[in-house]
Every structure is written in C-alpha cells, then in structure tokens.
Amino acid sequence: MMDKPWNNKAWFFILPVLVLVLFSSVLPVMTVVNYSLQDSMGVNNFFWNGDAWFRDLLDPGTEIGARFADALLRTFAFSFAALAVEIPLGIAIALCLPRRGWAVGISLVITALPMLIPWNVVGTMWQIFARQDIGLFGAALTGIGLPYNVTQDSVSAWVTIVVIDVWHWTPLVILLSYAGLRAIPDAYYQAARIDGASRWAVFVNIELPKLQKVLVIAVLLRFMQTFMIYTEPVVVTGGGPGSATTFLSIDLVKIAIGQVDVGSAAAMSLVYYIIILTACWIFFTVMTQLERRGDS
Amino acid sequence: MRSTIAPRISLIIYLLALMLPVYWLINLSLRTNADIMSGMALWPHHPTLAKYRAIFADPTWVHAFGVSLSYVAINTVISVSVALPAAYAFNRYRFVGDKHLFFWLFTNLMAPSAVFALPFFNLFYAVGLFDTVWAVALAHCLFNVPLAVWILEGFVGGVPREIDETAAIDGYSFPRFFLRLFLPLIANGIGVTAFFCFMFSWVEQLLATTLTSSNALPFAAVMTRSYSASGMDWSLLAAAGVLTMVPGAVVIWFVRNHIAKGFALGRV
C-alpha cells in the first residue's frame, strides 16, 4: 500500500470523471443551496431569505417541522425494520447456496432477477400481488382470516412495504455474502473438520469474521437505499393510508413538485443529504479501518 | 459427512418464494381481463398472447422500449469509459487530494434521486436536453460513474504492478500499453462494471420520468401512464411488466459466472 508512487499528473486521468460529476452532482446541489436561501414571488422573482427555511424545518413546533420530524422517524424505522430482516436472511441463504456444480449459475440468476426489474414495475407487480381480489398474496392472507388491506390499514401497508423491500433487496445481501464466503480458503474448513468443530462453531469462528468486510458494505448499501426509498411505496400505497408510509423522499417530492414549495423542499433536501453524507462518512471510516487492519 | 438436505430445501423454498410474484405477473399476463376478474386461478386455463401482440403492434410501446435501451446503453458506455483511467489512477498513484476525491465520488453513489429531481429538471431544461435520451443518460452518470470507478478500482488492483513496469521497459508507450495490454487483462472487470451500470440505469425511474415528457418516455413510465389512462387493464399491465424483465434476465445470464465477484465490488 505504501509504495504507490507520488504523481500529480494522475489528475489528468481523473479529469473526465471530475467534469462529468461536477456537471451531474455539484451543479444541481448548488442550485438546491441557492433555492434554500431564497424565497420566491412568482417565476424568477427571488429574494434573500437567510436561514428561515431551515429554522422552520428543524423546529418541530411548526407545521413543516413536525411533518419533517415524522417523516424522518418513519424512514429510520423503515430502514431498521428492513435491515433487521434482510441481513440475517441474506447470510442464511448465502450459506445454503451451492459452491460448485450446475446449480450455482441458475441459483444466482434467479436470486439476482428481482434487482433487475425497474422499480415502478416492482411496485406494480406487488400492487397486483397484494390485492385481495386478483392477487395471490392478498387473497391468501385474507383467506386465512387476517385483516389485510393495503389501502385502508396502516399496519398492512407497512408490512407490505417491508415485505417488498425484503423481496427486492435481500438478493444483494445474499450475493455479497456469497462472494465473501467463496473467498474463504478451503484450508480453514479442513482445519475445522480436523478439530471436530460444530457447524455453528465454524460459522461463528471462521465465516462470520471473514464476512465482516462484505457485511459492512451490505449494511451501508442497504441502509442508504432503504433511507432513500421512493418508487415502490409511491406505486403501492401512494404514501398512505393517511401518511403512514410517507417516507422522506416521498414527502420531499410532494412538497417540491406537488406544492411547488421550492424553498422548504430545498432546505429539506440539504438536511436529508447531510444525514446521508454523515452516515456515509461513518461507514467509510469503519471500512478503511477494517481494510487497514486486514493489511497489517 | 454433514447433511446437505436442510440447506438445499431452504434454498429451494426461498427461490420459489422469490419467483412467486413474478410467476403471478406472468400468469395474469396470459389471461384476459374478464378471465382475471371472474376469479382466482393458479395457472392460466385459456392462455392467450393477445396482450403481448397488442404491445408489439403499438408504436408508443415499441418506441419507449427503444428509448429505455438507448439511454441505458449511452450511460453504460460513458460511465465505463471515463471511469477506466480514473480507476487506474486511483489504484496506481498517490496525488494531491486522492483520498478526499475518492470519498467524494463515493458519496455521490448514495445521492438520493429525490433531492436531484428538481435541479436536474431545471438544468436540462436550460441546456435544451429535456425530454431526450441524453438527459437521462447524463443524469444517471450521477451514481453510475462513481460506481464504475469503485468497482474498476478493485479489478485494477488485481493486476500486478510488475506488468506495468515490464511493459514500460519493453518500450510500450503508455496509451499503447493501456489499450493493448492492460484493458484485455481486466476484461472481466469491465464486463461486470458494465453489468452494474446497466442494472442501475435500467431500474432507476424517478429521474428517468422527471426528465422526460413524451419523446423520450421510458418503457416503464409508459406503463404507469397507461395504467391511469385505460382504467384497469390488469392483463396489459402485467404483460408490459413481464417485458421489462426480459433485458435484465438476458444480461444477467451472460455475467452469471462473474456476478458474485462483481457484487463483492472487486474489493473484498
């Protein structure tokens, strides 16, 4: 790691990426910053508004502040619920996947398929699947006597969104864990067999520590994606019933495009983005620490 | 010898559960609306391809399918080609600000589309790209370029540095070395990266629908639109949904042997 040559000309290699990302990331973010500090009286008539949008947003006493706090809490709860199911399930299924033979290819293709379906199609698919009249899932749950109704009952709506996310994204955790498991040399397993270690002992002492790095990546990616969830709930529940499944992204789009309240939306965007950057930075630090420990 | 029956059964149950919603969609797509509304059926008793034929006969649907494929292709080509030199530089050299730059790129991977929808709309409207495939292709670079750099950097790291040095001693100029020797060595990595760019551009819909209105409307958006327009044509909706899975299934089949490695992002 340490013997990389110092060469500032390497910047030329980065230049194309830099130009592209400046255009597609920095420019839009600066536009948002601009909106967040101004108020508008009709088209193209802006005046300086200081930090007023932010003060309203972060004060739960105001209407927008209460709404933001609710959505934030809801989003965290959703991320937590989804991760709590997806990570253990993903590891468990990865352990079940065959290591070699004809079944590997077909299992991986089936596992990965949900991730390649456009997100609103995932929503549509589940909207149909969860209906009581024509959907298997809804009909089966109603059939066994559960009070299931996605559009009327907030518990049903919540459960459905979590089930969709688990269906949609556990494959990512599975494939990451599977890749990590395959990187463990056979010698480790042989040594364990000689020692007469139980299956559980092999998992705790060999597999889990070796999976640490991939699991950090898995948690990071899944946390970010659940925290930004938009398309599936919009299609399936439309954020309802009431505002039971109105997560941050949905609220943001409602305020920005539905109510054309650009100032509030921009302030909300920035706070939202800062939360994500902070989480990202924490994960990144943990990851590089792990890598450094792995190198030494 | 440890029993392998239990894991196998759990795996099969999981895969079946995974396929159930997909199967249900296929089931509905092969039935007529009257048939669907008349009652539940676990398989189509009178299968018909009428809705698929209707989709292929309608120029709006066919055009939209072409649009989706073209912005995904443009985006994949742009992302991979700009990311290649950057991945090489990040892996092989140290330079002013390298760590910060890498982290900053990484954060863009996590950028929430909802935050970017409105500014992108204004930006592309201002430069006259609104409602073209280029708008969507460029917007998707927001997360696909950093992703490509991240994955490729891992694959570049898998090539021993001695190869670069030997090539220099043998008198290869840098561009010739990079194009003729180095790229073939990481061909797998390029394939995996292209797959991921394809995947994230194909599935993303929030930006794709915000940045288009009629000319360059993606397939999945036409689907949502027909949804509200034609009342509830469940069967047509299901058939369109099934069609959106086809490109993904085809691409995934080609990279099936490298998927696992790619998911580890070449870094673990």
B49-263: which CATH topology?
Answer: MetI-like fold (1.10.3720)
A71 sits in the region (left: phi over 0; alpha: psi -120 to 50; else beta) called alpha
Q: What is the per-residue burial (b if ≥16 Cβ within 10 Å, else e) of B58-89? A: eeebeebbebbbebbbbbbebbbebbbbbbbb
Tokens of A186: 């056979």
Chain A contact for B216 (CB, 8 A cutoff): no
Mean pLDDT of A225-244: 82
Bridge partners (DSSP) listed for residue A38: A48
Q: How far is A62 from chain B (nearest CA, A)?
A: 22
Name the range with the highest mean pLDDT among A99-108, B212-221, B244-253.
B244-253
- CB-based contact B40 A126, cutoff 8 Å: no
Dihedral through CA B22, CA B23, CA B29, CA B35, nearest 10?
Answer: -130
- What are the chain A neighbours of B110 within 8 Å (beta carbons)? 224, 228, 276-277, 280
Instruction: Give the pLDDT score at A11.
Output: 83
Instruction: Give the pLDDT score at A43.
Output: 57
Architecture of the domain delimited by A51-295: Orthogonal Bundle (1.10)
Instruction: Give the pLDDT score at A166.
Output: 94
Instruction: Give the pLDDT score at B134.
Output: 92
Instruction: Give the pLDDT score at A83.
Output: 93
* pLDDT surpassing 80 at residue B190: yes
Instruction: Give the pLDDT score at A1.
Output: 46
d(CA B126, CA B109): 25
d(CA B85, CA B99): 16
With residue A46 as reference, give the H or E element that holds it.
strand A46-48
pLDDT digit string, tens, across residues B53-66: 888 888 888 999 99
- CB-based contact A277 B107, cutoff 8 Å: yes
B113, burial (CB in 10 Å: exposed 0-12, middle 13-18, buried 19+): buried
* pLDDT surpassing 70 at residue A229: yes
Confidence band, pLDDT 50/70/90 cuts, at residue A104: confident
Of all residues in chain A, the percent with pLDDT exceeding 70 is 93
The domain ranges of chain B are 1-48, 49-263
d(CA A269, CA A274): 9
Rg of the Cα atoms in chain A: 23
d(CA A39, CA A58): 18
How many degrees, rounded to 5, is the angle at CA B117 between CA B111 and CA B118?
A: 125
Mean pLDDT of B97-118: 81
Lowest mean pLDDT: which of A54-63, A236-245, B178-187?
A: A54-63
How many degrees, rounded to 5, is the angle at CA A114 between CA A113 and CA A118?
A: 110
* pLDDT surpassing 80 at residue B266: no
Tokens of B16: 């079946």
d(CA A120, CA A102): 33
Tokens of A256: 């920005």
- CB-based contact B85 A16, cutoff 8 Å: yes
Q: How far is A202 from chain B (nearest CA, A)?
A: 13
Residue with the larger pLDDT of the pair A38 and A154: A154
Instruction: Give the pLDDT score at A167.
Output: 94
CB A160 within 8 A of CB A126: yes
Scanning chain B, the segments in alpha helix (DSSP H) are 5-29, 33-38, 50-57, 59-92, 98-109, 113-126, 133-157, 161-169, 174-176, 183-185, 187-203, 206-210, 219-229, 234-254, 259-263
| CA nearest to B141 within chain A | A24
How high does pLDDT run on average in chain A? 82
Q: How far is B253 from chain A (nearest CA, A)?
A: 6
Closest CA to B247 of A123, A250, A209, A116: A116
- What are the chain B neighbours of A281 within 8 Å (beta carbons)? 103, 107
A73, burial (CB in 10 Å: exposed 0-12, middle 13-18, buried 19+): exposed
The domain ranges of chain A are 51-295
CB A147 within 8 A of CB A140: no
How high does pLDDT run on average in chain B? 84
Closest CA to A183 of A203, A211, A163, A164: A211
